[in-house]
Amino acid sequence: MTKTILTVDDSRTMRELLRSALVEAGFNILQAEDGVHGLEVLRENALPDVIITDINMPRMNGLEFIEAVRADRGLRAIPIIVLTTESDPAKKDRARNAGATGWIVKPFDPQRLVGAINRVAA
């Protein structure tokens, strides 16, 4: 069965790069522009197998988004991979404490990202 991935990133270019790489790898893609939109997409669609989120976004950043997903009983089991330009260990710890499953620094390697998705969605 094909896995569905929700990508949450305020950069249209990054959303398109992710979409292209993940569609090529055989995934279905849902997209959101920030954390607020990500929660809307989660409420309006079948649940994804994995969420990939940026950290630095307007309206609701990635850390707040992760906390909101983890606070919702119906969503809290979905693995969340953070994909960001941030490499600060304190931010990684905060994301992990919020409930992130993994962390990848941009620019991303498509094969590495697909491998991470397959590991956390297993």
Low-confidence ranges of the chain (pLDDT < 50): none
The pLDDT value given to residue 91: 86
The pLDDT value given to residue 40: 97
The pLDDT value given to residue 71: 96
Q: Return phi, psi of residue 54, to 5°.
A: -80, 170
The pLDDT value given to residue 78: 97
**CB atoms inside a 10 Å sphere around CB 19:** 16
- Domains of the chain, CATH where assigned: 4-120 (3.40.50.2300)
CA trace torsion 52, 101, 58, 35 (10° rounding) = 70
Q: How far, in Å, CA of 3 to CA of 50, rounded?
A: 8
The pLDDT value given to residue 105: 87
